[in-house]
């Protein structure tokens, strides 16, 4: 460890592993350290099942769950948008050689006391009970307009967002009014398709982003037909491990189960990290918030429940993998509740078992109770594990190098949604990163990490 490195990365979460692999590809000498004995940080997949019970300090006879090694349980469950930026990063970096994906069988939304499938083809759109015939016609006209919008060609949208309106600055309410989109359809668009957690998007988000999210959803559905989502075999924890392998191929050094005592600072700049009597020297540090608690601030809390089931969820047509969104307006909340469910079809548990995750942003002092609407939809639950996680973002993420002393903190914000749609920017010193395969320019690195 007593060596000099270009970059030291602390934590093996997905974003940290992506950055580590990209810098290794660029020829940088990278040391990647994690205090844990496993890869993945918060998004690791726990196996065998005995470790899951031990982690949550639950005593039980696990023999009834069949072979323990057949379980790969995500601590945080998320799906990937099939045509999203993260999938494109996986392809362009070649990390897909270490991964295998399968599509998620269905996407559903809770409305009016029932679970409804989000239509993915014309016949489903005609038969859905999400909206009546007249609303379907208005929604179809709106959808046709959205799919024809090219944000680089004002002629495709200036009939509604004519000057002085600007589609990149003004919100979507103008388009909703133009097509007579009522509150019910707005909820469907904003929460089931665009995947916003609350209704603030109607006022605070540019119409261009709403349109881009709708287009992304449609493009992703077209790739596989059943739903817009993908999920890796053996769990989400495979993603950071795959990027760690890529980094190692290009010379990256990994140390697990290695505790860091402190960052070493000289003359206002980080020069290394200390572990016991060892000091690894470097020019810059990238880390998750847990390594620098004095450099981050809390912005919220997510509450989650991991549920073991012995049956598929009612109302999802016996799907082996599915996503259900409970819009906040349906249950009198400020934030949506998200349910994801996987099974043996993604090699996460033995046959005849299902793994369901329920998550939301905590709003009260009793966060577990806030999950009840989602837990009720699951039916009988064999075993449930609750957890709460504080969410942190950096006070200074490193964009202002004079204030960051070359320490770059990765934002931890988790929308608790089950896919990666939100763009998280981590800006890294221009001296270190240039370009990877033309389409990945990392003078400023954009790591696409989603949601929920």
Report domain extents, the chain.
4-42+237-295+393-448, 48-87+298-391, 119-224
**Rg of the chain over CA atoms, in angstroms?**
23
Cβ partners under 8 Å of residue 271, min gap 6: 264, 265, 281, 282
Per-residue confidence (pLDDT) for residue 268, from 0 to 100: 87
Question: What is the distance of C-alpha 412 from the center of its chain?
Answer: 11
Q: Which pTM does this prediction carry?
A: 0.90
Region 216-229: mean pLDDT is 91
Q: Under a CB-based contact definition with an 8 Å cutoff, are residues 422 and 449 in contact? A: yes
Residues 6+ away with beta carbon under 8 Å from 60 = 53, 383
Torsions phi, psi for 400 (to 5 deg): -100, 95
**Average pLDDT over every residue of 241-258:** 97
> Which pLDDT band, with edges at 50, 70 and 90, does 35 fall under?
very high
Domains 4-42+237-295+393-448 and 48-87+298-391 share a fold: no
* Residue 433 banded pLDDT, cuts 50, 70, 90: very low
Label residue 401 by pLDDT band (50, 70, 90).
low
Q: Which residue has the higher pLDDT, 267 or 436?
A: 267
Q: What CATH number belongs to 4-42+237-295+393-448?
A: 3.50.50.60
- The residue that leads in pLDDT, 161 or 224, is 161
Say whether 344 sits in a helix, a strand or coil: helix
pLDDT digits (tens, 9 = 90+) for 306-356: 999 999 999 999 999 999 999 999 999 999 999 999 999 999 999 999 999
Q: Which residues contact 43 (CB under 8 A, 6 or more apart)?
A: 13, 14, 74, 75, 76, 78, 236, 237, 239, 240
Portion of the chain with pLDDT greater than 90, in percent? 80
Start-to-end CA span in the chain (Å): 37
Among the listed residues 102, 109, 143, the one whose alpha carbon sits nearest the alpha carbon of residue 225: 102
pLDDT digits (tens, 9 = 90+) for 148-184: 999 999 999 988 999 889 999 999 999 999 999 999 9
448 has pLDDT over 50: no
Q: Each residue of 4-14: pLDDT tens digit?
A: 999 999 999 99
User: How do residues 40-83 score in pLDDT, each as one tens digit?
Assistant: 998 999 999 999 999 999 999 999 999 999 999 999 999 999 99
Find, among 160, 281, 265, 282, the residue nearest to 210 by Cα. Answer: 160
In this prediction, residue 413 has a pLDDT band, given cuts at 50, 70 and 90, of: low
Closest CA to 88 of 80, 100, 98: 80
pLDDT of residue 440 exceeding 50, the answer is no
User: What are the strands, taking DSSP E only, across 201-295?
Assistant: 229-232, 253-255, 262-266, 269-275, 278-287
CATH number of the domain located at residue range(s) 119-224 in this protein: 1.10.405.10
Token code pair at residue 53? 């019970």
Q: Are 207 and 172 in contact (CB under 8 A)?
A: yes
What is the 3-state secondary structure of 165-195? CCCCCCCCHHHHHHCCCCHHHHHHHHHHHCC
Q: How confident is the model at residue 442 (pLDDT cuts 50, 70, 90)?
A: very low
> Rounded to an integer, what is the distance from CA 439 to the centroid of its chain?
22
According to DSSP, the residues that pair with 20 across neighbouring strands are none
- Architecture per CATH, domain 48-87+298-391, reads as 2-Layer Sandwich (3.30)
Say what the pLDDT of residue 436 is: 30
Q: In this structure, what token pair is assigned to residue 195?
A: 């995947």
């Amino acid at each position: 460890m007593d060596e000099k490195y270009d970059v030291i990365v602390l934590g093996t979460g997905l974003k940290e592993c992506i950055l580590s692999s990209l810098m290794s590809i660029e020829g940088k000498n990278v040391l990647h350290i994690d205090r844990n004995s496993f890869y993945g940080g918060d998004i690791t997949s726990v196996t065998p099942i005995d470790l899951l019970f031990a982690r949550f300090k639950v005593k039980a006879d696990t023999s009834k769950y069949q072979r323990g090694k057949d379980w790969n349980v995500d601590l945080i469950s998320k799906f990937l948008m099939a045509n999203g930026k993260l999938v494109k990063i996986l392809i362009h970096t070649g990390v897909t050689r270490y991964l295998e994906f399968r599509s998620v069988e269905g996407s559903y939304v809770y409305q009016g006391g029932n679970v409804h499938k989000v239509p993915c083809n014309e016949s489903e759109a005609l038969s859905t009970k999400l909206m009546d015939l007249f609303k379907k016609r208005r929604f179809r006209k709106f959808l046709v307009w959205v799919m024809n919008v090219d944000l680089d060609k004002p002629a495709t949208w200036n009939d509604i967002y004519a000057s002085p309106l600007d589609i990149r600055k003004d919100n979507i309410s103008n388009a909703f009014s133009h097509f007579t989109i009522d509150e019910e359809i707005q909820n469907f668009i904003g929460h089931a398709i665009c995947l916003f957690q609350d209704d603030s998007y109607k006022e605070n988000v540019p119409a261009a982003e709403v349109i881009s999210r709708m287009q992304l959803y449609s493009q992703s559905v077209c790739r596989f037909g059943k739903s817009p989502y993908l999920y890796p075999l053996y769990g989400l924890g495979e993603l950071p491990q795959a990027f760690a392998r890529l980094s190692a191929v290009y010379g990256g050094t990994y140390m697990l189960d290695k505790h860091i005592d402190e960052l070493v600072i000289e003359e206002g700049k980080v020069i290394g990290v200390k572990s016991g009597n060892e000091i690894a020297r470097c020019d810059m540090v990238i880390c998750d918030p847990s390594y620098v608690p004095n450099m981050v601030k809390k912005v919220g809390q997510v509450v989650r429940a991991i549920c073991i089931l012995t049956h598929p969820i009612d109302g999802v047509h016996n799907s082996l993998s599915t996503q259900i969104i409970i819009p906040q307006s349906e249950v009198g909340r400020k934030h949506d509740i998200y349910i994801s469910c996987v099974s043996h079809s993604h090699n996460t548990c033995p046959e005849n078992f299902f793994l369901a995750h329920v998550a939301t942003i905590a709003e009260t002092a009793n966060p577990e109770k806030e999950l009840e609407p989602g837990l009720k939809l699951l039916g009988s639950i064999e075993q449930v594990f609750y957890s709460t996680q504080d969410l942190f973002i950096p006070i200074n993420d490193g964009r202002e190098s004079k204030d960051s002393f070359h320490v770059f903190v990765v934002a931890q914000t988790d929308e608790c949604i089950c896919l990666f749609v939100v763009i998280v920017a981590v800006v890294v010193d221009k001296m270190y990163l240039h370009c990877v395969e033309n389409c990945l320019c990392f003078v400023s690195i954009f790591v696409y990490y989603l949601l929920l």
